[in-house]
Amino acid sequence: MASEVCQHIDAVTDVKQAKARRCEECVKIGARWLHLRTCQSCGATLCCDSSPNRHATKHATSSGHPVVASAEPGERWLYCYPDDQMAEY
Ligand SMILES: [Zn+2]
Ligand SMILES: [Zn+2]
Ligand SMILES: [Zn+2]
């Protein structure tokens, strides 16, 4: 990992990939999503800020899990919510 990023992203050594390509919370409520993010603390796959329900952001806020990875095909980056930092891997 690059040294320019925050400690949260720095602590991610093995990037968790999405187990299933769907937002776990949207599925429960029958909602739609746009893009998917995978929490690097617990592995939950949730929807991005462009989705109506913004489950990944809600999860980061409520659980304190700081870092998500993009779960979109071909995208290889991590994002830290508390530090607003993004890093490719
Ligand atoms: Zn951070
Ligand atoms: Zn969602
Ligand atoms: Zn989590």
Measured from the alpha carbon of residue 68, the closest ligand is 3
Task: Tell me the C-alpha distance between 15 and 27, whole Å.
Answer: 24
- Torsion angle defined by CA atoms of residues 77, 32, 46 and 73, in that order, rounded to the nearest 10 degrees: -30
> Tens of pLDDT along 35-79?
999 999 999 999 999 999 999 999 999 999 999 999 999 999 999
What's at 73, amino acid-wise?
P
Residues whose CB is less than 8 angstroms from the CB of residue 26 and which lie 6 or more positions away in sequence, other chains included: 32, 33, 47, 51, 53, 55
Task: Tell me the C-alpha distance between 89 and 10, whole Å.
Answer: 11
Say yes or no to pLDDT of 9 above 90.
Answer: yes
Q: How far is the CA of 46 from the centre of ligand 2 (A)?
A: 5
Q: How far is the CA of 80 from the centre of ligand 1 (A)?
A: 5
